[in-house]
Amino acid sequence: MNAPQPIPAIWTTGSTEAVRTGTWRAALPHYIDAPSPCHQACPVNGDIAEWIGLARKRDFRAAWDVLARHNPFPAVAGRICHHPCETACNRGGFDAPLAICKLERTVGDLAIEHGWAHARPEIEYAQHVAIVGGGPSGLSAAFQLRRRGFKVTIYEAQNELGGLMRYGIPAYRLAREVLDAEIAAILALGVEVKRGRTLATAQDLAELRRTHDAVYVAIGAGRPKRLPQLPAGADWWIDGAEYLARANVGAAPTLGRRIVVIGGGSAAIDAARSARRAGHEVTILALEAAHQMPAQREEVAEALEEGVSLVAGAMLDAATAQAGGGVALGCVRVRFERGAARGEFTLTRLPGSEFTLGADAIVVSIGQDPQLDALRASLAVNGALLAVDAHQATSDERVWAGGDVASMARFVTEAIGMGKRAAIAIAHRLREDGAAAGGAEPAVVGLGNIATYYYPKQPRVAEAHRPVDERLASGAEVQLGLELEAALAETERCFSCGLCIACDNCLHYCPDLAIRRAEASEAGRYVVLTDYCKGCGICVKECPTGSMTMLEEAK
C-alpha cells in the first residue's frame, strides 16, 4: 500500500492526491444511456442514434444489424414511414430535423444490394407459434419470434405475403423488388408459410390454439367503410382498397375519364395517384382542410404536382347518376374539428356553400374496419377492434393480436412495432421468465442537454424526386434515395442524443482531473474519481450528446 501523501505547501509542484476535494460536492456527474426523442417517437423504438453513429463510421453492416433487430423492413420503412422520429428530432430546434427516414432507406438498400442475412437463432425451442396474417405486423412478429428460436408458421389468405405493403401501397412508393427482398430475408430464418388460409370461423381459431403454443392474430382491416349517400350495387363507384389492390397488380378497373376520390388519408392519395397513372382526370374530395388531412404532407404535394385536384374541407351530400352518363356529386363546404380520440370528429356545414362536381366514377377511400365475425365468440372486442393490452395480449391467455385488427394507428411502422411487442411478450410467456413488462427508461434527452456550440449549422440534405412526366409515364418510384456521400454528410448532423461517443470532452475539461478513461475490465468508457470530483458540472455542460447528468448526493 502506498504511504499517505503529505499535504503540499503553497506554490509546490508536489502531488495533490492527498487533497480529497470530493468531500466538497453536493452533486455527482453520472454517465447515462438515455433515450433520444427520436427513439421515443419511433413506432418500433429503434436505436436511431446508435445505428446512425455506425453508419457515420461507414460500418453499414453493423448499422443494418442494429436497425433490423427492431425492424426487419428498413428499406421499406425508409420509403413509406410517416417518420414521427423526425418531428421529435432535437436537431429540429437547432436548424432542421435529421433526414432519418432517408438514412434508413440508404442502409436498408445497401443490405439488399450486398445480400446481408439475419443471424440465425443461437438456440432452438420446441414451442410453435401460429401467426395469422402475413402483413407488416405478422411478418414482424414472425421475425422476432424466429430469431429468438421459436418455430413459426404464418397462415396467409393471399397468394403472396406483404398485406397492405403489397396490395395497398403502389409500386411508385414501394418498389416490389425491395419488399420481396426484405420478406425473403425473414423467411430465410426458417419461417414456414401456408397460403390460402383464413380465420373464417371460431373453430379455425380454436384449431390453431390446439395445435400451437401461442397465436398472433394480424389479419388487418378488410371491411370497407361505406358512405350512405352511395347506392349499393351501383356500377359507378368502387371501394378504394379494391381499386388499389387491382391497380397494384396491373389490373386497374376501367372507370371513365373523370374520377372523384373521396377521402383524405394516405390510401385516398394512393388511389388518386394510381388513377392518374391510369390516365384519369382525378379530384380528391376531403372532409378535412388541407393542413388537417391525415395523409403525409409530401404525399399530398406529390399528388398535386402530378395534376391531381384537391377539394378540401367539403363533404358529399348526394350522388346522382346522369341520363347521359356520369354522376353528379352534390357537395357542401364544412368545418372539420378533430375529437378527443383518433377517428372522432365533428362537422359543421357552412351555409350557402353548396356546389356540384361532375365525374364518371367515384372511388371511396374513407377507411376500413376489421372483420371480427369469426373472433367475437372467443375474444373480447373494443368497438370495431379486438381488445388488447399494452403487450398486445387479448382476453385469451394464448392469443395476441396487433396491426389494424387491434389499433386505429393505421401506419405500416406502427403495425411492425405491435408485432415486435407481441413477439417479445409471447417469448417471455413461453419461456415463463416473467420479464415482459420491462423497466422505466431515464428521462428523454432534450435539446437543452446538448452542447450545441460543438455543432455548426448545416442544411438538411436535399431530397430528390423523379420528374413528374417521367414518374407518370414509367410508374417508377417517385422518391429517390440518397447518394452515399450525401448520406454520410447527413449522419454528421446527428447529435447522437443520449449516446456517449467517447469524445473525451469530460476528461479534458475537468478542472480537477477527476475523470479518467475506463479500463477494459470496467463498465462504460469513463470513470468519475469520486475522491476528487467537486461536482462543478463542467463535464455535463461540455457533453455534446447529453449522455451525462448531475445527480444530487445525500450526505
* Model pLDDT for residues 236-249, shown as the tens digit of each residue: 999 999 999 999 98
pLDDT value for 336: 94
21 band by pLDDT with thresholds 50, 70 and 90: confident
Question: Predicted confidence band at 250 (pLDDT cuts at 50, 70, 90)?
Answer: confident
Grid coordinates of 171: 409500386
Contact 48, 99 (CB under 8 A): no
Asked if the model's pLDDT at residue 227 lies above 90, the reply is yes
Confidence tier at 18 by pLDDT (50, 70, 90): confident
437 has a pLDDT exceeding 60: no
* Residue 426 pLDDT class (50, 70, 90 cuts): very high
Weakest-pLDDT range from 127-136, 157-166, 434-443, 488-497: 434-443
| pLDDT, position 17 | 74
CA distance 220 to 371: 8
Calpha distance 402→138 (Å, rounded): 8
CA angle, 115 then 119 then 124, to 5°: 140
Helix locations, 290-449, DSSP H: 297-305, 412-431
Q: What percent of the chain has pLDDT over 70?
A: 95
> What is the arithmetic mean of pLDDT over 8-14?
61
Report which of 63, 53, 73 is spatially closest to residue 107, judged by C-alpha positions.
63
CA distance 302 to 323: 35
Q: Where residue 14 falls among pLDDT bands split at 50, 70, 90?
A: low
Q: Across all residues in the chain, what is the average pLDDT?
A: 93
